[in-house]
Structure 1
């Protein structure tokens, strides 16, 4: 057998204080397995730590220094996954039922007697290796799925990778429907000073508090991700700068009212938000859209913080109405209605009506059916002071 053949074969560690037993087992399996031998449990344990090629362990119970039970216990308690998951066969006599029970409780996979035949021994070894391989593949699949999960386990928000993928799809959909998509980047002002004063752990708790607030405040169709330690992005399909600005102002007021204490000291934070819109800013890619919003958020922080910045400068309650209202996606509104999200559609009722006004005017001009076009126009041109108007209760006639 060449050295390459030996390396290609699975390596089995045989641990037994009897040289004759080790030699007998090695003779039976050599040709199908590469063999390493150790004379006691302590030597076997050291071999496992330094030899990552070992795929299976055969161990006697009664040995000096460290017996088979101790070796098995160390293997199953190991924090090294490679060692912890190793299949272990215990060499046991037929009369040692108590010993077998104890070994099984400690995590032994199988038992063999010292007089076992070659065919049966090889079959058991191969079966255990196949099972171990299947478990490794399953674990690798789970890890791969976790890595591709759209949810960040720390923040509870979607991952930046998912934000980019999903946002790119929304951008394409918006272009096909001649609609727009808005991006808002929110960052904690003077975050470095927060870390320096209270430490990274407390600053991280503040960040997680903000992520929870964001996840509860956004609409179902919005997507939120954490871009950096103190920076978040919100993508809002079918939303104009007015709607985005109003949300940013509400969020800023919520943060201002937020009470957090550390060692009897109140922690106060402010946020700055940068707003961008695919139509208003004439951008075609998601990366560019978020990039513009990031630049404006940074500008808000640099100007002293606690600011909302859009394409025409700082946004406050008196300037929201200055921004042009963009058409909403009627397809999207209809989809929401079909899913039962009436309140969310009515929350944008003015924008929906404003988008449909040309159609209402055409219908009235051709049919003269008495549509209240002027009343609808006046309603669409007014703005609510803060929260969207609630849909009035309908009466059954």
Structure 2
């Protein structure tokens, strides 16, 4: 016989250090609920982490190792939404109003006195389980709707589904037009520590601030999405490696200097950014391009954070200057050749060859005209090696 999800009995975790109390509760709710028993708050917490079938927690207050208040606090502070959102009912022999107020203040959904009849207990548990299931259904509906919508209702940014759609289009167009497309993964450093120190609410405000900053700095044709709790993903069509790295570096620097204030607190954050470009990295699919940017963001974080990592490793201002210098040298070289200054151009040939090589390779692949690519590549490397030896000599002097 096949049992559907709707036919399964709701599973309740009963946490109480008294075996007799647990047996009494099981007797009262048997047939309406499936029960898992644990003798104290610590064991109850461990059960929650490994048992995703639990629909509600019914816990005593006074217990060894971890009491009911401590268990409730852990549940509401959990980063796992499945655990954090569970209904929790306190069952206690303490009729003190202050105990009830404290439990409700910590996030309890109900408070039932020991000795209460089966009608009251069953009514409380049944209503909370129904409410929890209705909320989960609503969340699933919202998630399904968000996956089809271009805008995430929570962040106001592009939804994950729309980012994938735009990325697929962008990669295809870049391949067809022989242009480039950049993917950036922007991660907030020490995210868990920020949550622990300032709380989830404050960190959400920080993410909102960063989201607005990012949105104000990107173009209309760019697509920004919140990739995970601590990460943003940015897709930029028509952007080459140097431009995407330069943008990432400016963004990292701007956030590093930013000081956010919240209730007399001064909060600073830094970013780890991974950059991938389809043309340079040879990635032809969305998943490969975003995956590479994600790996490089992780490498930046592992190196200490507050870094930008691209295909050649960590990006800094000096690297951008060198790359920009190579691009500008071609324009200068053309002007110098026209002016007859051939000797000055010959000194720049290694950089010029390196900058033009992708274009020459493309021309050869389309025309098959016999361009001496191997000889040019060898000349580029030989000249570069000579330059390195000369540099090493000058340094030693």
Q: TM-score, normalised by structure 1?
A: 0.46
Q: Pick the structure with greater CA Rg.
A: 1
Query: TM-score, normalised on structure 2?
Result: 0.46
Between Structure 1 and Structure 2, the one with more helix by share is 2
Bigger relative contact order (CA 8 A; separation at least 6): 1
